[in-house]
Amino acid sequence: MEDWEEVQIETVSDGLDASPTELHAAFELSGDHLSEVRDRHTMMLVTSGELPESHISDIAPERRLEWIIQELNGNRTSAGLKIPMHGADQNSIQLSKGELDGHSILKLQVGNFERKLPLPTELESIKASMKNGVLEITW
C-alpha cells in the first residue's frame, strides 16, 4: 500500500476578487518602467547631495579629509594619517601627489579602488611607509 501526502493548493487570483495588496504586488513585479524611475530618483538624490558636499570641501578641505579617513577606518595623527590596509597586496597600493582646483591632493589607489585626499596647503614633502599592514603617511 502506498502512502500519500496531501498537497494544499493555494488560490491565487489576479482578477476582480484579488485584494489590493495582491494587485499592487503584481503591478510592481510587472512594471519595467518603475526601475528606470527608481534609478533616476536615486541619481537625483546622489547628485543633489553632491552640491553641499562639494561646497563644504571647497571651503573646508580638512573636513573632506576627515570624512575620507573615517570611510577608510583610518586615524589622523599630528603629522599625517594611518590607514589600515590588511589583506591588500603592497604592490597594488599606489600613492601619487598632485594638485586639483588649486588644492594639494594625494591620490590613493588600491586596485580599482581610488580616493583623492585633500592635503594641507603648506606641505612640501610626503613620506609613506607600510608597517604591519597599516599605511602610514606623514608630512
DSSP assignment of 54-117 equals HHHHHH-HHHHHHHHHHHTT-EEETTEEEEE-TT--GGGEEEEEEEETTEEEEEEEETTEEEEE
* 48 Cβ contact list (under 8 Å, min separation 6): none
What's the pTM?
0.54
pLDDT, mean of residues 31-52:
72
Give the CATH number of domain 61-138; options: 2.60.40, 3.30.70, 1.20.120, 1.10.3470.
2.60.40
According to the model, what pLDDT value does residue 66 have?
A: 81
According to the model, what pLDDT value does residue 82 have?
A: 93
Every domain of the chain and the residues it spans:
8-59, 61-138
* 13 Cβ contact list (under 8 Å, min separation 6): 22
- Report CA dihedral (25, 28, 29, 34) to the nearest 10 degrees: -170
Share of the chain above pLDDT 90, in %: 3
According to the model, what pLDDT value does residue 67 have?
A: 79
According to the model, what pLDDT value does residue 56 have?
A: 65
Q: Tens digits of per-residue pLDDT, 59-111?
A: 666 677 787 888 888 998 888 899 998 888 888 889 988 887 777 888 888 88
Residue 126 above 80 pLDDT? yes
- Cα distances (angstroms) measured from residue 122 to each of 39, 103, 126: 42, 10, 11
According to the model, what pLDDT value does residue 44 have?
A: 80
pLDDT, mean of residues 14-24:
73
pLDDT, mean of residues 13-29:
72
C-beta separation of 119 from 139 below 8 A: yes
Bridge partners of residue 109, in order along the sequence: 94, 114
Please name the residue that has the C-alpha cell 547631495.
49
**Cβ count within 10 A of residue 136:** 18
